[in-house]
Structure 1
Amino acid sequence: MTLQWRYTTRDDLSVLSLSGSLGEQALARFGGAVGWALARGTGPVVLDLTALSGWSADGQRAIADAARQLATHQRTLELAAIPADGSLVPDGRCPLMPVHPDLDAALAAHGAQTDGTEARQEWRTTAWPGGAS
């Protein structure tokens, strides 16, 4: 299954949602999505993993790398709805990544609306579930 992503900016944070599997074949696409987030948003990035079907060790390392990359721009990466195995174990070089049980909890932690009314702009891959942009 190919990795798909949707990036949404909000007032003081952004959400990068993933769908599919984050494995070795998806690393370049995930890296591109993180670059997109760096270029188009400010504040924390919530990585919404609700629709992620799985992740490999390479995918987990890519998430830790993304957290380090965002930190160099004074931005944080937060995780929402990690896959059921919950096996993400960042190394000692990784900045703190808060983990939220779901996207609504992550948004609430920042005082953001959970009904989508604060969304400003959205970009997504063509095959994102629910339609193309």
Structure 2
Amino acid sequence: MQWERTERDGVSVMHLSGYLGREDAHRFEGALDWVRSHADGPIVLDMSGLLGWSDEGEIAASNAARAPIAVCGLRGRAAPLLTGCAACVGTYPDLDTALASLASA
């Protein structure tokens, strides 16, 4: 798993790519903590670059989403832990839709 943080229109975006597996869960959680500490506004977790994730990877992502976060880029993949998370401020099909929604909020 690789990650990168960008800033767009006052929104921090954490882009994920590769595969989020059990061995990456702890590193992912630390990376998201870093993004949170550098964010001044909302955060979007962009999962469109992920090739997939293990059960442990989805658990790590859903645990991270306990604080307000938007999720985008699931690309039709099943993610019941993320899509059912009460702390998610939204699940969006793509980054542009997420950014537009957060900008209008």
Higher helix share: 2
Question: Is residue 104 from structure 1 mapped to residue 102 from structure 2 by the alignment?
Answer: no
Q: Where does the alignment leave 5 or more consecutive residues of structure 2 unmatched?
A: none
Higher strand share: 2
Deviation at 1:104? 1.0
8 Å contact kept, 2:71–2:88: no
TM-score, normalised by the number of residues in structure 2:
0.84
Question: Is residue 16 from structure 1 mapped to residue 8 from structure 2 by the alignment?
Answer: no
User: What's the counterpart of residue 24 of structure 2?
Assistant: 26
Deviation at 1:111? 2.9
Of stretches 78-87 and 16-25 in structure 1, the one that deviates more from structure 2 is 78-87
Q: Where does the alignment leave 5 or more consecutive residues of structure 1 unmatched?
A: 113-133
The aligned length equals 104
Structure 1: which 4+ aligned runs deviate by more than 3 Å?
Answer: 90-94
| Rg (Cα) greater in structure | 1
TM-score, normalised by the number of residues in structure 1:
0.68
- Which of 41, 52, 68 matches 2:39? 41
Percent identity, please: 38
